């Protein structure tokens, strides 16, 4: 079962159970996935129009309708929603709104349950050391080359800020 199928099945279960937190969070994630598909279609249509210099034909429009979300699209939306919940929690804490913190925390736990297990700092360090060696970099000036190698290896499994902090730390020694 794909992540998208799991999200849809869990939304149906939440609707039947009357679980407001799950229902709200899953609807927001699924709306984000639908928006991602629309964005993909729009980008594809724009590229096709630019290439041929005119309106799209019927068969080309039919091809656009076949664009569906892949697992990477769903994963990106889940990460975006998780980040939004973390930011909302921080804002609610600053405002002293414990009720909003609790609600966002519950939604964040639910969203994170669909994300792959994240890499620990030690695992990121190990991957960073390997990328540094592979790139042959010895100082901070080569950080871009290291990040270019490392980013795809940690995508979806580690926060970009953590990855860049680890690389910066390793290159400064």
According to the model, what pLDDT value does residue 10 have?
96
Q: Which two tokens stand for residue 144?
A: 């871009």
**What is the Cα–Cα distance from 99 to 92, expressed in whole angstroms?**
8
Select from 22, 21, 20 the least CA-distant residue to 10: 22
Asked if domains 3-112 and 121-172 share a fold, the reply is no
**What is the Cα–Cα distance from 20 to 7, expressed in whole angstroms?**
15
**With the CA atoms of 27, 33, 37 and 43 taken in that order, what torsion angle do they form, in degrees rounded to the nearest 10?**
120
End-to-end CA, the chain: 45
Domain 3-112: give its CATH architecture. Orthogonal Bundle (1.10)
Q: What is the pLDDT along the chain (173 residues), one digit of tens a residue?
A: 899 999 999 999 999 999 999 999 999 999 999 999 999 999 988 888 888 877 888 888 888 888 889 888 998 999 899 999 999 999 999 999 999 999 999 999 999 999 888 888 899 999 999 999 998 888 888 888 899 999 888 887 887 888 989 999 988 87
**What is the Cα–Cα distance from 48 to 60, expressed in whole angstroms?**
8
Residue boundaries of the structural domains of the chain: 3-112, 121-172
Q: How many separate helices (H) and strands (E) can be counted in the chain?
A: 8, 0
**What is the Cα–Cα distance from 151 to 153, expressed in whole angstroms?**
5
121-172, what's its fold? Arc Repressor Mutant, subunit A (1.10.10)
Q: Which two tokens stand for residue 47?
A: 């590229």
Residue whose tokens read 């041929």: 52
For residues 104 and 88, is the Cβ–Cβ distance under 8 A? yes
């Amino acid at each position: 079962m794909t992540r998208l199928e799991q999200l849809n099945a869990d939304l149906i279960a939440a609707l039947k159970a009357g679980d407001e937190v799950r229902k709200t969070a899953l609807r927001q994630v699924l709306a984000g996935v639908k928006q991602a598909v629309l964005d993909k279609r729009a980008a594809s249509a724009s590229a096709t129009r630019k290439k041929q210099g005119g309106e799209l034909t019927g068969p080309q429009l039919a091809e656009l309708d076949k664009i569906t979300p892949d697992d990477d699209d769903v994963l990106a939306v889940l990460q975006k929603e998780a980040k939004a919940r973390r930011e909302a929690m921080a804002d609610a804490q600053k405002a002293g709104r414990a009720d909003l913190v609790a609600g966002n925390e519950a939604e964040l736990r639910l969203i994170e349950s669909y994300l792959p297990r994240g890499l620990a700092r030690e695992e990121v360090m190990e991957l960073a050391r390997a990328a540094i060696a592979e790139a042959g970099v010895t100082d901070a000036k080569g950080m871009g080359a290291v990040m270019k190698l490392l980013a795809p290896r940690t995508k979806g499994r580690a926060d970009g800020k953590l990855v860049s902090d680890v690389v910066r730390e390793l290159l400064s020694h």
